[in-house]
Structure 1
């Protein structure tokens, strides 16, 4: 009987810790996967598109002057500007895949690749992972993960702790 209760306790403990862990869901930010809201090919061009998200959230992809950023649109249609282009001023693009960290199917954080052209040589990019907390009343960038070994794993760790962090202010580097 004692062994049975011990085994039952361990199974319950493992199951509850697995339930509490955040999970990843992925959506595309490729132009073809997004609904075009506006597009202008004049000059440096501009684009605004709405991409599917998770749990009723959407991503608004914005491009202007060869720079990109994203906004988060909540299920209640509230918009939160993540202002990626305020962190790095060079020409930039968003990666083709967005990772949503969810808890119980509800988004709690977002990880997006942000490729920024080198100011001296625009053929060279630096690829950052922008970590943002996601919520119904606020969403903002909490961490920027610079290129490094295990960059994706580091971003996930930071995303899972993002809810308790303050928002980063864009530095304009």
Structure 2
């Protein structure tokens, strides 16, 4: 069998390695759950027999820990290498004034197996738009959060009702903004068309 010239061997090696290099630089999504069955209750406070506040820890990808705090029908979601680290992040105090809750699925944007941002759907109570029974209607919003290395904090809000392509906008914001976002100096952005959910979120921050 004839021997290939050194240059041909080098070129062949680069070509063969190209798919793996491309895969390592490809951004994709993985998903985890924050349901009660998939998380551990770390603490809770009862008043008159009812849960008033609770903290749950849930598994994230690549060893990350999600901390979900519920207090007086309001939630915060934060992330860290441990629960104690997550509780010290800016995201731990980034809540909203109206009653609110999150869905049980987190979408993680990852590159080379490493997550750099998360996307989660929030439900914000609109006290100015009640149901027939008097309970406030819920307005939906996607929250993009940056992840370690560096601080964990909200980066962008996308109103679900005002933007039919809300999921795509959230992924684009995560991919383009999260890694370069400075939690100390940068301001959270409303991406796409502003709506009632993002208005409630921004005015209550």
TM range (shorter): 0.7 to 0.9
Whose helix proportion is higher, 1 or 2? 2
Unaligned runs of 5+ in 2: 1-12, 189-200
- 1:163 corresponds in structure 2 to 179
- 2:119 corresponds in structure 1 to 111
Q: How many residues align?
A: 166
- Give the conservation status (yes or no) of the 8 Å contact 1:109–1:133: yes
Q: Tell me how far apart the structure 2 counterparts of residues 69 and 171 of structure 1 sit (CA, whole Å).
A: 15
Which entry has the higher C-alpha Rg, 1 or 2? 2
- The reply to whether residue 59 of structure 1 matches residue 66 of structure 2 is yes
- The reply to whether residue 34 of structure 1 matches residue 39 of structure 2 is yes
Equivalence map 1:1-173=2 (5 Å): 16-42=21-47, 45-74=52-81, 78-79=85-86, 80-82=89-91, 83-85=93-95, 88-120=96-128, 121=130, 122-147=135-160, 148-161=163-176, 162-167=178-183, 168=187, 171-173=202-204
CA-based RMSD of the aligned residues comes to 2.6
- 2:194 corresponds in structure 1 to none
Query: What is the CA-CA distance between 1:17 and the residue it aligns to?
Result: 3.9
Query: What is the CA-CA distance between 1:55 and the residue it aligns to?
Result: 0.5
Q: Tell me how far apart the structure 2 counterparts of residues 36 and 55 of structure 1 sit (CA, whole Å).
A: 21
Query: What is the CA-CA distance between 1:156 and the residue it aligns to?
Result: 0.7
Cα-to-partner distance string for 1:73-108 (whole Å, 9 max, x where unaligned): 2259522241341xx311000111011111111110
TM, length-normalised to structure 2: 0.71
Instruction: Describe the shift of the 1:52–1:138 C-alpha distance in structure 2 as closer, same or farther (beyond 3 A).
Output: same
TM, length-normalised to structure 1: 0.82
- 2:8 corresponds in structure 1 to none
Unaligned runs of 5+ in 1: 1-7
